[in-house]
Amino acid sequence: METERKSTHFSPKSQLIILSLLLGCAIALFSNYHKNELKKAVAQAIDNNTSDYPYALNDIEKVLDNQLIGWNNGNIDQFMDGYVKDSSVRFITDKKVKTSWQEITDSYKKGYPDNEAMGKLTFHRDEIRWVKEAAYIAQVIGRWEVIQKHKLEQANPNLGSRDFSSIVNRNAPTHDTLSGRFSLIFIGTPEGPKIQIDHTW
């Protein structure tokens, strides 16, 4: 006589609990990684004598303003001038950690190939503070927002030669807004303060 196999079935409530636990673990791991990167950055900055390159917190404002001008003029190279150009730079997202200035630059240029894709960038600076003032290591915590021209869905080939734009809802949005948060670690360099770690999500 064959025994019946019991199928494993989770109720919607159980699925939600499991998903919440997994998400919580992922966030904790990601947060822990960022804390470790911050500790390493501070230690490396102290070893590299960044205190030899003093700056004021309002100098950071100038770097961020210059980045905004570059981005909004479609100039990624000017935007990237705000970053340290050596192997200590890190760009941390929920997808990947980029470990060189060139890798970060190439990624931006691939993801934002023209002015329309880049859209209009705004920074909301919630806090600019010293992490270790004696070593000239500072942190910026804030929010970013990019407003892009709305992308229409691709036309359905079954529509034939009909003009797709004529059937688009006239009340459809004209722009898309992307937004998130960031934490930036600045260090002193001969060229002024630069971003050593960018944690963007």
Q: Number of structural domains, the chain?
A: 1
Position 158 in a domain: no
- The residue type of 166 is S
Contacts of 52 (CB under 8 A, 6+ apart): 188
Q: What is the pLDDT of residue 175?
A: 81
User: Whole-prediction pTM value?
Assistant: 0.72
CATH number at residue 82: 3.10.450.50
Position 115 in a domain: yes
Position 89 in a domain: yes
Output the CA–CA distances (angstroms, integers) from residue 92 to 83, 99, 145, 154, 198, in the order listed: 13, 9, 18, 32, 6
pLDDT tens, per residue, the chain with 201 residues: 444 444 456 677 766 677 667 766 656 665 566 567 666 656 665 566 678 999 999 999 999 999 999 999 999 999 999 999 999 999 999 999 999 999 999 999 999 999 999 999 999 999 999 999 999 999 999 999 999 988 754 444 554 544 545 544 556 668 899 999 999 999 999 999 999 999 999
Position 160 in a domain: no
Position 9 in a domain: no
Phi, psi of 7 (to 5 degrees): -85, 140
Domain around 111: 14-153+170-200
Q: What is the pLDDT of residue 8?
A: 55
Are the C-beta atoms of 69 and 78 separated by less than 8 Å?
Answer: yes
